[in-house]
Every structure is written in structure tokens, then in C-alpha cells.
Chain A
Amino acid sequence: MKAFLKRAKEHESKINKYTEEYELGRKHLANMMGIHPDEMTQEHINEAIRYLLPSGLFDKGSRPQFKHPKDILPLNFDFPFDKAGRPYHYQYYTLLPNYHCIMSEAAWRMECLREEEVRIGSTGAPPQEEMKHLSEEYEWMDLRTFLNYFKSNHSEVVQVNEHNRFVILMTKLSKMRLREQDVAFLKQFGSPKTSEINVMDTEEIKKFYVNEQGRKFRTKNGYRKSAIAQVTVYAEGEGILEINGKGIEYFESQYAREQVLFPLVLTSSLNKVDVHARVEGGGEMGQSGAIRHGLSNALLPFVSQQMVNKLSLSGLLDRDSRVKERNKPGQKKARKQFQWRAR
């Protein structure tokens, strides 16, 4: 096909032009910056461009760049077929060859495994290769990585339907008795599920300070309605609880006392931790809620990652934003309305 030659020549001439421009520009830049052009690296160029041509665009790929055409354009203009016009990929005529290749390979493996099972079941002979079930449930590529995989490697645009089918097929395959080669095939697209989902895994959670006496502690503020609480938790303690100079008797109702003790009971650290709290504002319930909020946030560095997940998922770490609703004109209270009259 002679259209190949034409396009390949065009591409080559383009690349040559761009390299010349790049070299020229590089020398000018080096002159401007006062650096020898041989010592100038790509980082110098990037800094200079950011200074000379600042842009506030969000997408970093669309900001002005100055790179060698090697990094931007492909070197060899690869057609997906050879001189005679025959495509290289056997599923080129479907418009998504690589995606369908993966699916058909998985389907073919399923067929082979089914045949093996039938043969084993009917004749009673041992399997030719070692076949095992997967010990764990596997988690497959999520949508974004899936779309990216095909776009970046093979420049194919895949849709959501294709991802759904992919997930269904892979789960079907993973539930059969597999050979080693099948496991290797599946590991390209998935990994075993971890039962632990690390919801919060940042460094801020694990920060704590050390006392003059050498005791670790952490203070956090807790808020509820209009109450503010300052809670400090000391590790390696006996179970001391102090609220504004008093013990748990500061709160009279059982409900308020339970609110304060609940995070300690959850993490099972009642007698292992000292708590000192200072509360202002609000009423009894508000203050107890504020202490609960502060306590659960202050406990995090002294507790395992599993517990951190539990606390975050339970909602103890979130500030309860419920506030008394305002009164509205034309009504008695926030929701209560005046008595309805017929006329």
C-alpha cells in the first residue's frame, strides 16, 4: 500500500522539523538563563517555561510545554497491518481487538476447563495438571483503570458495558478449578480482596505528643450544638476519667454518661487510657456529645487500624451538624403552624 510510504515520509519530515526548532529554542533559552546548553536539563526548561508563560489552566497537559518531539510524537509510525494490507491482530475487524482478545481468551480457557472436568468426571482419571480453586475472592479492575488500560496501551475507546461484561466473565472464570496458567492470566486483571478497607490511613491520625514525664498524649476538640470540649487522652493509663474537675458524676443522666463511655467501650480501652476533659457551653446532652466527639478523635493513634476503620465507619469521628431550626414568620415555631381556619 503506497499510502503507507507517503504517511511515513510525512511523519519523518515532521519530526526532523520539530527537532531543529527544539534545538534552536534550547540554545536561546540557555543563553537567556546564563547556563551552558549542555548542562541544561529538562527541569530547567520546565521552570523557565512556567516563569515565562504562566497559565492558570487546570489541566496540566494543556499548559505550554517545551519537549523533544520524541516524548510527544511516536518515533515509528506503526500501522496495524503489513505491506500486503493484512492486519497483525486476528480480531482487527472488530473495532476493539485487544479487548475482545482478552474476552475470547478467558472464554476459551473456560471451555478447556469444562472439558477437563467432564473428562475427569466421566473416566475418573486424574487431572493432567494441578488444578485448584482460588483461596480468596478476587477484586477486578475498576472502571477508570480499565478505560485507561485500553486507551493508553492500545488507543481503544471502551464503554461501561464492556467493563460490566469483563467483570462478569472474570468472576465466572475465577470460581472454577484453575490451572497455574489460568491464575497467572487472572492476576493481570485483578488481585485478592483485602477484607480490611483502610478508610483513613494518613499521618495526621497517628500524631501524638510526649509529656515532660514521658507520657504520650493527644488533645482534640469536640463540638456538639453549642458545646465545645477539649479532651486529652493519655496512653498507658489506669482508667482515670476527669470532666471539669469531676468524674463521670458530672453528668446526671445515664444517657449522657453512656455517650462519654461509648468510644472507650468500642475500642476496649476503658482501663488502659486516661481521659481529661474541659467542657463549656451548651446543655447536658450537648456537652456529652462534644466529649464523645473529642474523645474518639483523640484515641486514634493509640488504637489499631481496624479500630480506626470501625470508628470512622460508625460516624463517631464526624461532627454532628444538627442545630436547632430557626422560627419562621407566619408560624408558631419551626414547623408548627397556626390553626387552620375555614374562612
Chain B
Amino acid sequence: GACIPSLSQQKTYKTDIKAKVVNPRPLTVTRIYEKKVILKNAEAAAALAKEEELSDKKEKINVYKSFHRDIAEDNALKNPDFFKVKEMVDLHTLFKNRVHFGHHHGCRHPFVVPFLYGVRQNTDIFDLDKTLPRLHNALNFIAHMVYRGGVVLFVSRNAQTMPLVEYTAQKCGEYSHCRFWKGGLLTNIDYLYKNLTRYPDVVVFIHTQNNFSHEHAAITECAKMLIPTVGIVDSNCNPTLVTYPVPGNDDSLDAVKLYCKLFEETILRAKEYRKRDIEELSDDSDES
């Protein structure tokens, strides 16, 4: 028995809640001090000055502060549509590629109700006037992250579309994980990988559910590690923990092909812009 929604309820789901992020993901990193000694406390600086040899010290460093910036981002932030994302998709292409079809109304998830237009012959229909701006936002976000040299991870657990997704990831020069998700891949990263690995900066879900029609384990892991996610949310999926949910169909081949094509286009375009705009800054900028 599914709860039938009243479409008169016009509550908008808040996706743009701004949370204060203070010292996110503090990592213990061993650092070598070669020429310039960068320390916080004055006492420690005095103690080190006596030792002439190099010393390794474990310190809790904020990764964002020591991030090596090789590109000036001010230009990109001036224009709201710097990457011309709105030219890639319009409503007609979405409709043509069957993005508006959802599942049977009995499979409906209550949190997806605000994105639905209605029901037709027992199938939920998405409101494309709501998906389109969200899709634009998601593509824009991905483009900005790739512009700054971010790592994108494609995740999907559908056997039919798995080769397509992996192929697009390879083409873009980004990464994919369409296999069994081992628990703790992101939360317990140091244990599973031999070397210090870099977290993915964006995780793109083309299917938010796994083979057993449960929420994919990567969604909660990304939320815990404060990794922003982009996800295509079908009418039986939970959109709460996805930062950029794109309500749409994820079962028909045409829709998935469209999404893959769009992601590929944005990523390649962003990389082009990055190549064009890159400037190598001097080492003095590391001190901040």
C-alpha cells in the first residue's frame, strides 16, 4: 500500500542548505621540511631550530590549505554559465530520451514526490521543468571541479549499462567503480590501499541503487567523508543524501546514454578550458 501524494502540496525540497565546513577531513600527513620551516607554534619552531638534520613530524594538516593551486578561479566564477552548460541540454532532448518515465506508483519513494508531475497509466512521470535546472546545476558543478583538477568517480551497479559507464570514464580520463563496493573504501581508505591515496572530489551516481534495490553504500560513505555527490534519482530512490540530485529515469538505455554523453562533454570541455587557462604559481603561495 503506497501513500498517494496530494499534488496540491507545493513544498520545495531544500537542496542548497549551506553547512559550515570547519577543518574538514583532517589528515595526519608526514611532512618533510627542506628549506622553509612552516610551523604553527613558536616553541616548536625554537626546538627545531636547534636540530640541523631534517626531521619528520606528524601534524594534523588541513588539506585544503596546503592544496596546490595551479589555476586562477576568479574568471570562472564571474560568469554563472562559464562552461555553457545550458546549450548542451534542453527540455526536448530530455523528453525524447525518455527521462520523464519513472517506476510504478507503488514503488514510489515519499521523498521523490516533489519532483513528480503526476501518474499516467500507473507509471510516475517526472516534472522536467524541475529536472532541467537541477541537471544544469549538476553539470556546472562537475565542470567547475574538473576545471580545478578534481577527481571524478562514476558509480553504477547496473549490469546492462556497466560497460557504457566504464567506457565513458575511460574516455574522459576519469575513474569508475561499477563493481562490488567493498565497505569502507572511503571511510577506511588507509587500510585498504597500500599507499596514501587521494579521495575522489566528486562522485557521480548513474544508478543510486545496487542490485538488491537498496541504497548504494557509497552514498553514506561520501556523506560521511564530505565528498559532494551528483546522482540520478529515480522514483524509487532516496534523494536525501545526494547533494545534487537529478530526478530522472535511470532504467532505459536511451536515458543513460544521454547522461553519459552529457557528463563526457562537460568533463572534456572543462579540461580544455583548464589547459587554456593554466598558470603555474610560485612556491610562496603555499604559505597561507
Q: Which residues of A contact B (CB under 8 A)?
A: 1-3, 5-6, 79-81, 84-87, 90-95, 100, 104, 107-108, 110-111
Tell me if B149 and A91 are in contact (CB < 8 A). Answer: no
Partner of A3, one of B29, B167, B192: B29
Chain A residues contacting B175 (CB-CB under 8 Å) are 87, 90-93
Tell me if A1 and B196 are in contact (CB < 8 A). Answer: yes
Instruction: Check if B198 is an interface residue, CB within 8 A of chain A.
Output: yes
Partner of B192, one of A91, A95, A100: A95
Chain B residues contacting A3 (CB-CB under 8 Å) are 29-30, 196
Contacts A90-B170, A91-B176, A93-B177: A84 and B149 contacting too (C-beta < 8 A)?
A: yes
Within B157-195, the residues touching A (CB, 8 Å) are 162-164, 166-167, 169-170, 173-179, 182, 185, 192-193, 195
Return the 9 tightest CB-CB contacts between A and B, nearest first. A85-B198, A107-B163, A108-B163, A104-B166, A90-B170, A93-B177, A94-B179, A111-B163, A94-B177
Q: In the complex, what residue of chain A is closest to B196 when comparing beta carbons?
A: A3
Contacts A5-B32, A107-B162: A80 and B195 contacting too (C-beta < 8 A)?
A: yes
- Cβ of B83 to closest chain A Cβ, rounded Å: 20
Q: How far is the CA of A86 from the CA of B199 in the complex (A)?
A: 9
Please tell me the number of chain B residues within 8 Å of chain A, measured between CB atoms.
Answer: 32
Tell me if B149 and A93 are in contact (CB < 8 A). Answer: no
Q: Which residues of B contact A (CB under 8 A)?
A: 29-32, 56, 68, 149, 151, 153, 162-164, 166-167, 169-170, 173-179, 182, 185, 192-193, 195-198, 200
Partner of A91, one of B173, B177, B182, B200: B177
Can you list 29 A-B pairs with a CB-CB distance of less than 8 A? A2-B32, A3-B29, A6-B30, A6-B32, A81-B195, A84-B198, A85-B151, A86-B151, A86-B198, A87-B175, A90-B166, A90-B170, A90-B173, A90-B174, A90-B175, A91-B177, A92-B175, A93-B175, A93-B176, A93-B177, A94-B177, A95-B185, A95-B192, A107-B162, A108-B166, A108-B167, A110-B163, A111-B163, A111-B164
Chain B residues contacting A91 (CB-CB under 8 Å) are 166, 175-177
Work out how many contacts link A and B, with CB atoms closer than 8 A: 69
Q: In the complex, what residue of chain B is closest to A89 when comparing beta carbons?
A: B175
Tell me if B162 and A104 are in contact (CB < 8 A). Answer: yes
Q: In the complex, what residue of chain A is closest to B56 when comparing beta carbons?
A: A6
With A2-B31, A107-B162, A110-B163 given, name 6 new contacts (CB 8 A): A2-B30, A92-B175, A94-B179, A95-B185, A104-B178, A108-B167
Chain A residues contacting B200 (CB-CB under 8 Å) are 93
- Cβ of B85 to closest chain A Cβ, rounded Å: 24
Chain B residues contacting A87 (CB-CB under 8 Å) are 175, 197-198
Q: In the complex, what residue of chain A is closest to B68 when comparing beta carbons?
A: A84
Tell me if B197 and A81 are in contact (CB < 8 A). Answer: yes
- Cβ of A305 to closest chain B Cβ, rounded Å: 44
Q: How far is the CA of A324 from the CA of B68 in the complex (A)?
A: 86
Q: How far is the CA of A321 from the CA of B235 in the complex (A)?
A: 71
Chain B residues contacting A1 (CB-CB under 8 Å) are 196, 198
- Cβ of B166 to closest chain A Cβ, rounded Å: 5
Chain A residues contacting B170 (CB-CB under 8 Å) are 90
Chain A residues contacting B178 (CB-CB under 8 Å) are 104
Tell me if A93 and B185 are in contact (CB < 8 A). Answer: yes
Partner of B198, one of A81, A90, A108: A81
